[in-house]
Structures are given as structure tokens and as C-alpha cells.
Amino acid sequence: MDRFVVISGCSGGGKTALLAELGARGYAVVEEPGRRIVREELQSNGAALPWVDGAAFARRAIAVALADRVTARRLDGWVFFDRGLIDAAAALEHATGEPVLSHLGQLHRYHRCVFLAPPWPEIYRADAERRHDVEAAIAEYERLQNAYPSVGYEVTILPKVGVVERADFVLHTLAC
């Protein structure tokens, strides 16, 4: 959908803060599937965690991202997604080699312009839901830099600026 915009990129690169700013400005935002899955799995002692069973985690992220798209159809205007289906499909391909990215990426479209938060080691922080180090985050970022264009998206790298300026940048880019 042309009004569904993905904010993706490097873990710890400021995506969540950017989405919070966009939400504060009245735009609809969809929380990252992976964070929700990790919280649920930790609460239930589940194994679909990226550091336990990456394939199960990615399959679940695909299902959540698809459900998010259905729910978001009821929202008006721009809808900003903290990651999405392409991230989950790329993770599954990386974990298993299953060729799902091309099929899912063509079947379920977002806005043609995808915003990627670049690695920003100065603000990167691990936490209970993000246990990987900055090197793993950068490797994931590099996979996403290739994954999005491979299924027809234009990648726009977010500048390393304050959150207000980043939100202005996104909205200005979409207005063009």
C-alpha cells in the first residue's frame, strides 16, 4: 500500500525514537514485530527468540507483519511501520536459506520509499529484548540494504541527526 511506510535498518539506530516522534505528531505507527514477539516469548518461556531459534522467530515475525498490514488497512493517512514483512522474510532467508523474500516482497507491498537507519554505534544499546552486539546489528543492516532493493524498493538512508530533524526529513521526503 502506498501509505504504508517502513522505517527499518540497523538495530539501535534510532528507529523507535523516530516512530515515537511521528506518533506524537499524530501519525499512525506500528510497533516492531520482533520486539513484541521477544516480550511474549520471554514472558511465556518460549523458544521463538532470535538467540534461541532464529527460524521460528522469523516465521513468527512474518505472521505478525502480515497481521499488522491487515489491521493497518483500517487506519487513515500515513502508517509508519517499525520494520515489517521484508525484514522478517530476509531474516528467515538468512536463518534457513528458504527463498521467501522475493515472493512475499512482491505480493505484499509497502510505499516504494523505505527509510533505513544506518549503524550508529554511539547510541547503540543492548537490552533484554536486544541481546546481539553492534557487529551483528551492522551485519543485519547490510542484509537489509540488499534485501529491499532486490524486491523493488528505493532505499533512503536516514541522516544521523536529532529525532525531530529525522521526522522532518521523512515527512519532507514523502511529500516530494
Per-residue pLDDT reduced to its tens digit, 26-47: 999 999 898 888 888 888 988 8
Tell me how far apart the alpha carbons of residues 119 and 176 are, in angstroms, rounded to a whole number: 26
Q: How many CB atoms lie within 10 A of CB 165?
A: 13
What's the pLDDT score for residue 175? 85
pLDDT band at 129 (very low <50, low <70, confident <90, very high): low
CA distance 164 to 83: 20
Residue range 117-141: average pLDDT? 69
**How many angstroms separate the CA atoms of 85 and 32, rounded?**
10
* 60 close to 48: Cβ distance less than 8 angstroms: yes
Helix (H), strand (E) counts: the chain:
7, 5
Please compute the mean of the pLDDT values over residues 122-139 and round it to a whole number.
64
Rounded to an integer, the average pLDDT of 121-139 is 64
**171: pLDDT confidence band, cut at 50, 70 and 90?**
very high
Quote the Cα angle for 67-133-81, to 5°.
Answer: 25
Structural domains for the chain? 4-175 (3.40.50.300)
| Lowest-confidence region among 18-27, 66-75, 103-112, 158-167 | 103-112
Which pTM value belongs to this model?
Answer: 0.89
